[in-house]
Amino acid sequence: MNITDRVRKLQEAGRELERRKSKINSSLWAMQSALLDLAAEALGRDDDVEGGDQWECENKENPIGMCVYDGHEDPAWDDCLFCHEPFERK
Ligand SMILES: [Zn+2]
């Protein structure tokens, strides 16, 4: 295989990886969104629940186990809806 063919093959492999990455990202996004819906339901709210991807929540009543915030009332994410810890932590 000459160098041009190799480069072409590598470029094609790179594009295939990008396609796979984008599929994985949309699956992760859908999963995240389903988890936030669960948290919102536990709180008896509509869909104004955000976060849920960084901190393990201390409150055992939190069905997703990750801290979540009210995106409207608390846009800075200072007060987890379950345990009241902020998103910014040392
Ligand atoms: Zn929490």
What is the pLDDT at residue 89?
86
**87 CA to centre of ligand 1 in angstroms:** 9
| DSSP bridge partners of 68 | 51
Q: What digits encode the pLDDT tens for the residues 68-87?
A: 999 999 999 999 999 999 99
> What's the whole-number average pLDDT of the chain?
93
Which of 38, 85, 82 lies closest to 64, judged by CA?
A: 38
**27 CA to centre of ligand 1 in angstroms:** 24
What is the pLDDT at residue 53?
81
**pLDDT value at 47 more than 80:** no
Quote the number of domains for the chain.
1
Which of 52, 19, 46 lies closest to 33, judged by CA?
A: 52
**58 CA to centre of ligand 1 in angstroms:** 6
In the chain, DSSP finds a helix count (H) and a strand count (E) of: 1, 2
Mean of pLDDT values over 37-61: 91
Place 46 in a pLDDT band, splitting at 50, 70 and 90: confident
**34 CA to centre of ligand 1 in angstroms:** 17
What is the pLDDT at residue 48?
84
- Structural domain containing residue 35: 3-89
